[in-house]
Amino acid sequence: MSPISQKVLELSRQQIRYQKTAEITAHWSALSDAADPGPIPMFDPMGVPGLLPYVYLLQRDAQRLRYRVSGEEVNRLFGSNHTGQYLDEIVPAEIYPEVSPFFFKVLDGYICVFKGYVLLPGQEHLEFERVLLPIERKGEVQLLGTLSLSSTSGLRRDQTPPAAPDPGFHFYLLELKTGDLERHHKSLLPLADRYSPKRNLQC
């Protein structure tokens, strides 16, 4: 096992709580070990049929990211099929500037574990966990993402899951070239709370 794969799996053990997210991370690590020259592996979604509902692929299009593939469970969170749409069309405008830099970082050779609680109205109780991984596909680096939600995803079974995250968004960035790990935290209010004064005026 390569040193970077060891770092990736250690990050998984420390931060990833859900089984599907852990599985795709382990799959990426195995592909990375076999990659030549590595560490960014080639990826075929059909190689993980059991995970397809939970994964998505994003392709850089100038300064935007476009969904090339989007699984059913990913679409369910926002209530639409994302395939062919841009990330900035899916993520609420108030959140996008806070989270999008981490997505672009992945295309520059980073892995990102991104977790917290859903900010959409009526879903604030849901915990989410994303892993963002760089992969090679059709001659370019694309982003392979996986989404786990506490309402539809089981906790990992291969170990005791890490503790649930504190409030806010938590980002763990692992640079593939150096193995250095960055930690970031964003304190964001649920969107329903932000809109509550407006709703009260309408009552």
- Provide the residue-wise pLDDT of the chain in tens; the chain has 203 residues: 888 889 999 999 999 999 999 999 999 999 998 886 678 999 888 888 888 888 999 999 999 999 998 888 778 766 778 899 999 998 888 889 999 999 999 999 999 999 999 876 666 678 999 999 999 988 899 999 998 989 888 999 999 999 999 989 999 999 999 999 999 999 976 665 544 433 333 32
- Are 41 and 34 contacting, i.e. CB atoms less than 8 angstroms apart? yes
Count of structural domains within the chain: 1
pLDDT tens per residue, range 13-53: 999 999 999 999 999 999 998 886 678 999 888 888 888 88
Cα-Cα-Cα-Cα dihedral sign, residues 81, 94, 100, 102:
negative
pLDDT tens, position by position, 76-92: 766 778 899 999 998 88
Q: What's the domain range around 116?
A: 3-202
